[in-house]
Amino acid sequence: MSDANTYTPPKVWKWDQENGGKFANINRPIAGATHDKELPKGDHPLQLYSLATPNGVKVTILLEELLAKGHKGAEYDAWLINIGDGNQFGSGFVGVNPNSKIPALMDYSTEKPTRIFESGAILLYLAEKFGEFLPENPADRAELLSWLFWQVGSAPYLGGGFGHFYAYAPVKIEYCIDRFAMEVKRQLDVLDRRLADNQYLCGDEYTIADMAVWPWYGALVQNKVYEAAEFLQTHTYQNVVRWTEEIAARDAVKRGRIVNRAFGPLNEQLHERHDASDFELRTQDKLEAAE
């Protein structure tokens, strides 16, 4: 790789497979499957293929919230897709998500099985299916859609932009870190101003917009992604901190955030979820103690 100050782009871009970046082994300039692999399927109507990154956690939080409200049809099997090992490029996964990214969902309760990918689309699909966490009145619904689409449009600046250059890139490039730190601080300020007069993003009601935004911006504030809380002075966004803590205290959120988690403390790792009892019986600390 050339030095940041001396690089001149060639006429035609070429794929440097050894660029030294943290995800160099899985990043590719082409789509499609790299190998044949069927996806596992359990007994529940909903089959989720995911990993507990912020995008994955959005969906498991919603599913746990739906179950907490008594929606038995929201029972799900959550299967681990290890993106570091390239599981997202298996033929079965690509069949559910041609974009090869977690999360991806199959709904077998519909006349013909329904596939759905993109975390925002999955949230909206499930909220509509169960009639929960989504206001009915058109004005409130418009507000919700605005925040939901804000999240899917904004988080790549936080993850792919700031997080990548601050935490993962093999070289620290001041220009890139400055550019994305500024944007992420602006986004935190957008949230902070909104949450100054509103308990939740859409007002008094906790909705899928909160479930979409919390795993990213809440994790940043809690210093759980990129170790950047001090660098970005996230504690100064006091309304975001208040909202983050309130959501973190919900039981469904505590459950949802550990489903398909294969990193961090062992008692917070539930690699697969097939039953409500798994939270008590099948976290990694319990499984490893029983070996």
Q: Which stretch binds ligand GSH (CB under 6 A): 37-45, 96-104, 229-237, 253-261?
A: 96-104
234 interacts with ligand GSH by CB under 6 A: no
Among 21, 37, 98, 118, which residue sits at the site for ligand GSH (rule: CB under 6 A)?
Answer: 118
Looking at residue 21, what DSSP letter applies? -
Enumerate residues 6+ apart whose C-beta is below 8 A from 131: none
| Cβ at position 131, least distance to ligand GSH in Å | 23
Enumerate residues 6+ apart whose C-beta is below 8 A from 202: 135, 140, 143, 144, 147, 209, 210
How far apart CA 27 and CA 231 sit, in angstroms, is 28
Among 47, 55, 60, 283, which residue sits at the site for ligand GSH (rule: CB under 6 A)?
Answer: 55
CB 50, CB 78: distance < 8 Å? yes
How far apart CA 267 and CA 40 sit, in angstroms, is 25
260 interacts with ligand GSH by CB under 6 A: no
Q: Which stretch binds ligand GSH (CB under 6 A): 61-69, 99-107, 164-172, 276-284?
A: 99-107
| Cβ at position 279, least distance to ligand GSH in Å | 22
50 interacts with ligand GSH by CB under 6 A: no
Site string for ligand GSH, 145-184 (x = CB under 6 A): -------x--------------------------------
87 interacts with ligand GSH by CB under 6 A: no
Going by C-alpha positions, the residue among 230, 133, 147 that lies closest to residue 181 is: 230
Sheet with 46-50, side-by-side order of all strands: 76-80, 46-50, 104-107, 114-117
What is the contact surface with ligand GSH in residues (CB under 6 A)? 26, 53, 55, 83, 88, 100-102, 118-120, 152
